[in-house]
Every structure is written in structure tokens, then in C-alpha cells.
């Protein structure tokens, strides 16, 4: 998660388990907009096999075989069919995995064996318009050896996307993987997954300039503790002020 930053440095901010894993959230943002509910990112979903769940230590089993995201929506008394818009920041499996779900296997006592992977994949939010950047959809559909493991077609191929091109003005900023946790606030602390760290560095610099000047509220998708905050100065670097914590 920290790319070229050495473990002795990042470990002071987040400690790792015996398998070198760190806790990460899969936090999605729900906007109660007058035009309908907007869901930004859909987390990891619940379609991957036991090996995948073990590697990443996934805890996303929801009631009735769905996901913690859908459980959280239910706590707000929203059903999946009440979501009007789904916006994917991008199509990595940890952001778009909940776009779709697989029908659970019904165990007929003497019927033929059905593997979970043989079940049809359906959209999780059937009445929503799913939105993604056109360039990202093309990128996801044309993977190479470095990117293929992040883009799993069953998360985006069953979806009829409305694609957009370019940015919209915003005052609340959902950081997604640009700054995945508050530990990644220092400009050069960039994930090893990042394909263009130097571009990311400049994107962070530009975003910080505006976020600081205009007092944006920044949301962290992967921080297990810090949900959001505003950018402030901490010594020579950047820190968070008005941090909003989980729980």
C-alpha cells in the first residue's frame, strides 16, 4: 500500500499483521440528493473465492449472502432498488466489486452439482444508472500483465454504464485511491499499485492546493479509522484538521 516508502517508516502510522497486511476500510459514500440516492463506489462485493478472501482477509459477508454495504444501506432503511445513481471512481475490484452479485446456490438434495461460479452475475442496484469515466472503462477492458489482477470483468461487464469524460466541480472530495488513507497524506507516499506515481504526485499537489484554499471536506475510502477531514499544515507537510473518525 505504500509503494517505495520503507516499512519502518509506514509502520509508525499503520501496523501490519504477521502476513504483512494492514487493516483497510472499503468505505462507500452515500449522498441523499433531491434527485435520488447516489452511491459512490460499491466496495469489494462478495463474489470472489475462498483463496482471494484469505489473501486479502476480506470481511464483507452480509446478511442473506449479500454485503456489509447492503446491510449498512438497510440500516438506513434503503433497499438496493432505491439507489438511483452508482458512481464508480474507477473499476478496481475493491471499488466496483459490489456493482454486481452472484445468485446464491440453492442446494437441491438430489439435483446436479452447481458451482457458485456457474451462477449468473446480476447488477446489485437494478434501478440505478451506473456512471464511470469512459477512459477508465476502456482501460479496464484492455488490461496487461500489470493491471489484469485489479480489473475483474464480472464487476463491470454485466453493467450498462453511462460514461462521462472529465471532471465536475466539487467541494466535497472523495479521494478513492489518490490518498487511500490519512497515512498517505505526505505527497510522495503513494501506493505500489499505482501505475503512474509521478502523475499521482502532481495530482495530489494540485488537489491539495485547491482543497486547502477552498476548505474541501476530504473523504478517505480505505482508512479504517479516519472517515474524513480538512487539509491543514503539519510542520513542513500536510496534516488533517477537523478529522471525523469512524464509530
Cell numbers given for 116: 457458485
Q: Give dist(CA 221, CA 26) in Å, integer.
A: 6
The smaller minimum CB distance to Zn ion, of residues 74 and 137, is found at 137
Shortest Å distance, C-beta 209 to Zn ion: 23
Taking the complex as a whole, how short is the minimal distance between the CB of residue 67 and Zn ion, in angstroms?
16
Minimum gap (Å) between residue 164 Cβ and Zn ion: 20
Return the number of the residue (94 or 223) whose C-beta is nearest Zn ion. Answer: 94
Alpha carbon distance 222, 235 (integer Å): 25
Contacting Zn ion within 165-194 (CB under 5 A): 177
Helices (H) then strands (E): counts for the chain = 6, 11
Looking at 48, 70, 94, 136, which residue binds Zn ion (CB under 5 A)?
94
CA torsion angle for 175, 180, 181, 185 (degrees, to 10)? -70
> Least distance to Zn ion from the beta carbon of 225, Å?
17
Q: CA-to-CA distance for 11 and 192, rounded, in angstroms?
A: 15
Instruction: Give Cβ neighbours of residue 146 (< 8 Å, ≥ 6 apart).
Output: 195
Count of residues that bind Zn ion according to CB under 5 A: 2
**Closer Cβ to Zn ion, 79 or 192, answer by number:** 192
Nearer to Zn ion by Cβ, of 13 and 84: the residue is: 13
How would you class 129 by CB atoms within 10 Å of its CB: exposed for 0-12, middle for 13-18, buried for 19 or more? middle
Cβ atoms of residues 9 and 64 within 8 Å: no
Binding letters toward Zn ion, positions 136-165, x by CB under 5 A: ------------------------------
3-class secondary structure, 123? strand
Report the residue number, 59 or 108, with the smaller CB distance to Zn ion. Answer: 59
| Nearest-CB residue for Zn ion | 177
Residue 41 contacts Zn ion per CB under 5 A: no
Q: Which residues bind Zn ion (CB under 5 A)?
A: 94, 177
Amino acid at each position: 500500500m505504500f509503494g517505495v516508502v520503507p516499512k519502518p517508516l509506514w509502520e509508525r502510522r499503520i501496523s501490519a499483521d504477521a502476513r504483512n497486511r494492514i487493516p483497510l476500510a472499503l468505505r462507500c459514500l452515500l449522498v441523499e440528493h433531491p434527485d435520488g440516492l447516489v452511491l459512490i463506489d460499491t466496495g469489494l462485493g462478495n463474489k470472489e473465492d475462498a483463496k482471494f478472501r484469505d489473501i486479502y482477509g476480506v470481511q464483507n459477508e452480509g446478511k442473506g449472502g449479500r454485503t456489509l454495504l447492503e446491510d449498512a444501506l438497510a440500516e438506513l432503511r434503503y433497499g438496493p432498488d432505491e439507489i438511483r445513481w452508482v458512481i464508480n471512481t474507477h473499476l478496481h475490484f475493491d471499488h466496483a466489486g459490489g456493482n454486481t452479485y452472484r445468485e446464491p446456490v440453492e442446494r437441491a438434495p438430489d439435483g446436479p452439482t452447481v458451482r457458485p461460479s456457474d451462477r449468473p452475475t446480476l447488477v446489485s442496484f437494478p434501478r440505478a444508472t451506473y456512471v464511470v469515466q469512459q477512459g477508465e472503462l476502456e482501460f479496464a477492458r484492455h488490461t496487461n500483465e500489470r493491471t489484469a489482477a485489479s480489473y475483474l470483468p464480472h464487476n463491470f461487464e454485466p453493467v450498462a454504464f453511462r460514461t462521462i469524460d472529465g471532471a465536475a466541480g466539487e467541494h466535497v472530495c472523495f479521494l478513492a485511491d489518490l490518498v487511500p488513507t490519512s497515512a498517505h497524506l505526505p505527497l510522495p507516499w503513494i501506493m505500489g499499485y499505482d501505475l503512474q506515481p509521478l502523475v499521482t504526485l502532481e495530482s495530489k499537489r494540485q488537489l491539495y492546493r485547491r482543497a486547502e484554499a477552498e476548505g474541501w471536506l476530504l473523504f478517505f475510502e480505505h482508512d479504517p479509522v479516519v472517515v474524513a477531514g480538512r487539509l491543514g499544515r503539519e510542520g513542513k507537510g500536510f496534516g488533517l484538521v477537523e478529522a471525523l473518525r469512524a464509530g
